[in-house]
Amino acid sequence: MSDSTALELLKTKLRSIHHLHDAAALLSWDQETYMPTGGGAIRAEQLATLQTLAHDQFVSADTEALLIALLDTSTGAILPEQAASLDAASQALLRETWRDFSRAKKLPSTFVNELERECSLAQQVWVKARKTNDFQLFLPNLERLVELKRREADYLGFTDSPYNALLDTYEPGATVAQLKPLFHTLRTELVRLLDQIRQSPVHPQTSLMTQSYNTDQQVEFGRLVLTHMGYDFQRGRLDLSAHPFTTA
């Protein structure tokens, strides 16, 4: 198989997998905006099914074979004979795909299914708890999620701290050891700033932070801001949710 053929087959497979993630994102958007509360249980199952299908396709032997044709799987480096014929974008795609594949391969399908289902159910309970200001209502879900993320860290493997495995998802290469001194410096400066504010003779009016505001007016303002930003409402929309989020 030529490198160009392997790459095109890989792109086709990744596109199909991405479509499953897109469908899951649409269901998640509906869950956060318009879904009736009675649909919560089946929605969690739907999301779990889609994400499990995407996971299984991604870590399949077919995907691995295509990556092996293009990469040194012991290091993740692009094979020298392939690198010369691949542009920068294709090389970046391969590097990131291999990184994601290497991590995803360590997660059992049953775990992916369980985590996605629990995340969906927890979000629904959180909305209720937020509305009633009842943390205890959400606590059991939070405890289950923490336990699941600990299991995820164990599956992925880590050095020094289990959070290193999870942190690597969003900040590749970052570690707890690197962050601790950074947060220590931030804390020192923030405490100093807070003390200055407390001792300042200036006491600004803060009541606007605790008032209730008309929802329709907030939506109208949001649309105005998005319009000025050049947002294309033919390709996206603005809706109400319990907590701000974006999805695509």
- Tell me how far apart the alpha carbons of residues 108 and 152 are, in angstroms, rounded to a whole number: 10
Show pLDDT as tens, one digit a residue, over the chain (248 residues).
666 799 999 999 999 999 999 999 999 999 999 999 999 999 999 999 999 999 999 999 999 999 999 998 888 888 887 788 889 999 999 999 999 999 999 999 999 999 999 999 999 999 999 999 999 999 999 999 999 999 999 999 999 999 999 999 999 999 999 999 999 999 999 999 999 999 999 999 999 999 999 999 999 999 999 999 999 999 999 999 999 999 98
Phi and psi at residue 130, to the nearest 5°:
-65, -45
Would you state the pLDDT for residue 159?
Answer: 93
20-62 confidence digits (pLDDT tens): 999 999 999 999 999 999 999 999 999 999 999 999 999 999 9
Would you state the pLDDT for residue 2?
Answer: 66
Would you state the pLDDT for residue 15?
Answer: 98
Cα distances (Å, whole numbers) of residue 59 to 53, 55, 97, 148, 195: 10, 6, 11, 20, 52
Contact 76, 93 (CB under 8 A): no
Phi-psi label, residue 160: left if phi above 0, alpha if psi -120 to 50, beta otherwise: left
- Tell me how far apart the alpha carbons of residues 198 and 217 are, in angstroms, rounded to a whole number: 34
Contact 174, 167 (CB under 8 A): yes
